Structure 1
Amino acid sequence: MNDAKTWTLESMKELWPVPAAGDDKYSRGVVGVIAGSEAYPGAAALVVSGAARAGAGMVRYVGPMRAQDLVLHHRPETVVHDPGDTAERLPRAQAWVVGSGVADYPEQDAAIGAAMASGAPLVVDAGALETVAKARAAGSREASADHVLLTPHEGELRRTLQALRHDVTAEEVHADRAGYARLLAEASRAAVLLKGSRSLVASPGGAVTLLPPAPAWLATAGTGDVLAGIAGTALASGLNAADAGAAAAWIHARAAERASEHSPGCVGPIVALDVAQAVPLVLAWNTEPWNTER
């Protein structure tokens, strides 16, 4: 990938938004989250935590009561909404994160449909990937390519391409990650953040951005939900989809490094909420993470 660029600390310094004295919770970006379910309520709390810790001015959560309760337990500042009401009248948000941990729940599906139809910027994860990619491939593109970010891992990338009638195996995807991420980006007219130990972002038109390697301890349940929340905050702040994906992946990996440092020179296991809680340490300006090149 000689034509790929690499995302660095300097990229972050140039693009990541920092609040000014005149900002309020709305100007900093409102992130809407349609995630989690009765079966997987933890996904909702993790996405919301990722968004909040990354600096969203406000986070709105849409989902079933069990997930609402867990969200409020972890992040009491969250504004919660019933999905039945949301499908009729979508709350105001600068960007929506949809799909993490969703299950068969018709009202939540309708809320995701309303977010798609609104034309607002979208981060699309897990259970919404195939739905959104198929709709966009068929021409339903209320949000522009610069405003939609798909966040699959390799298995989800393969399944989404198969849903678009591209016959591809897991081995083929693994052997050419950038090539198949580009294929999905072109087919769906959206940026694609392909997650992994070396994440990358592909855009329609073929541009690819490589991220520095992430700690192996990051490969644990729920960390992708935190990443989706961080990306939602980046998108709500005004970054385009490709930059939002690259910035979120960079922050996510650096937060994992911080969280896994249990003592000087000693790294070890982490869980997803550890990563979310470390995000503010990474985003603290004029401190070590911003002055050490990655």
Structure 2
Amino acid sequence: MSDARRRGADHVRERWPVPGPGDDKYSRGVVGIIAGSEAYPGAAALAVSGAARAGAGMVRYVGPLRAQNLVLHHRPETVVHDPGDAAERLPRAQAWVVGSGVADYPEQDAAIGAAMASGAPLVVDAGALDAVARARASGSREAAADSVLLTPHAEELVRTLRALRHDVTLADVVGDRAGHARLLAETARATVLLKGSRTVIASPGGTVITLPEAPAWLATAGSGDVLAGITGTALAAGMVAADAGASAAWLHARAALLASGGGPIVALDIARALPGAIAAVTVEATAE
């Protein structure tokens, strides 16, 4: 049975991780990111920026040299890893973000496979959606359903459902976004965050979370990569997938609102506005 609920500031305030005097970079959460490519290096920089600005204690990046260089240009504190080395020996992380901007690169695909096999919490975006959904639908479920978050937009949801042999169209999804998000959640045994002006999160079992409408300026290239990084930080801090997705999407929208001021924004603006958005919602909890 579905349980459609809206989430807002109180939900985020109660759950978003705020460090204390006893914390260090490891206890705050290490996020591993396998994203970007030679063709799309920007996705790597945006996902890493989202995770770092959302409060990850450390971010590890796995990807090709061009993307590594761009990541280090924007976020020099990032620890970078060669995909071949990571596939052989996966670096330690509390959660992994995979798929944003990946292209045909066998070593990076192998690293994504290693992240899946590790059983660590997982955010799955863009180029990794089909492979991860098929693997989980066929019974390869090293990570529990409440620690795996698939993050498609509507077109990617259609493609992923078709890869799982569901005959759906974009019009079908637009007409029933919650129903088709639930369909993927049940088939892949994972939580699904369907991106859009009103984000929908569906978990296996039928629970649905509906977020308030986000600013329209958020519909810009790369904003989903930033969201993937934010969600990785939430999972690395120990949140379950549905709460991580709802909190991250709410903060993503709030950061966009702060960055926009009513005008256009680009994806990196969202990442830069995240500390202010988080401070505004957590300062009350910190004061208490």
CA deviation vs aligned residue, 1:223-265 (integer Å, no higher than 9, x gap)? 000000000000000000111011110000000000001xxxx
Q: By how many angstroms is 1:8 displaced?
A: 1.3
Partner of residue 158, structure 1: 158
In 1, distance between residues paired with 2:91 and 2:18? 25
Asked whether the equivalents of residues 16 and 282 of structure 2 are also in contact (C-alpha less than 8 Å), the reply is no
Partner of residue 135, structure 1: 135
Asked whether the equivalents of residues 2 and 208 of structure 2 are also in contact (C-alpha less than 8 Å), the reply is no
Secondary structure at the residue paired with 1:206? coil
Secondary structure at the residue paired with 2:36? coil
Q: By how many angstroms is 1:287 displaced?
A: 7.6
Q: By how many angstroms is 1:123 displaced?
A: 0.1
Question: 1:271 pairs with 248, 266, 269, which one?
Answer: 266
Shift of the 158–78 alpha-carbon distance from structure 1 to 2, 3 Å rule, reads same
In 1, distance between residues paired with 2:193 and 2:124? 10
In 1, distance between residues paired with 2:56 and 2:120? 16
Q: By how many angstroms is 1:288 displaced?
A: 8.7
In 2, distance between residues paired with 1:59 and 1:117? 20
Q: By how many angstroms is 1:14 displaced?
A: 1.2
Asked whether the equivalents of residues 2 and 206 of structure 2 are also in contact (C-alpha less than 8 Å), the reply is no
Partner of residue 282, structure 1: 277
In 2, distance between residues paired with 1:28 and 1:19? 7
In 1, distance between residues paired with 2:152 and 2:203? 14
In 1, distance between residues paired with 2:188 and 2:243? 18
Please, what TM-score do these two structures have when normalized by structure 1?
0.95
In 2, distance between residues paired with 1:170 and 1:286? 36
What is the correspondence of 1:89-128 to structure 2 with a 5 Å cutoff?
Answer: 89-128=89-128
In 2, distance between residues paired with 1:272 and 1:29? 23
Asked whether the equivalents of residues 251 and 277 of structure 2 are also in contact (C-alpha less than 8 Å), the reply is yes
Secondary structure at the residue paired with 1:284? helix
Q: By how many angstroms is 1:153 displaced?
A: 0.2
Q: By how many angstroms is 1:187 displaced?
A: 0.5
Partner of residue 199, structure 1: 199
Q: By how many angstroms is 1:286 displaced?
A: 6.6
Q: By how many angstroms is 1:4 displaced?
A: 0.4
Partner of residue 230, structure 2: 230
Q: By how many angstroms is 1:3 displaced?
A: 3.2
Which has the higher relative contact order, 1 or 2, with Cα contacts under 8 A spaced 6 or more apart?
2
- In structure 2, the gaps of 5 or more residues are none
Report the number of matched residues.
285
In 2, distance between residues paired with 1:13 and 1:200? 20
- In structure 1, the gaps of 5 or more residues are 262-266
Considering only aligned residues, what root-mean-square deviation do their CA atoms show, in Å? 1.4
In 2, distance between residues paired with 1:145 and 1:247? 18
CA deviation vs aligned residue, 1:170-195 (integer Å, no higher than 9, x gap)? 10100000000000001001100000
In 2, distance between residues paired with 1:44 and 1:287? 27
Partner of residue 264, structure 1: none
In 1, distance between residues paired with 2:135 and 2:143? 12
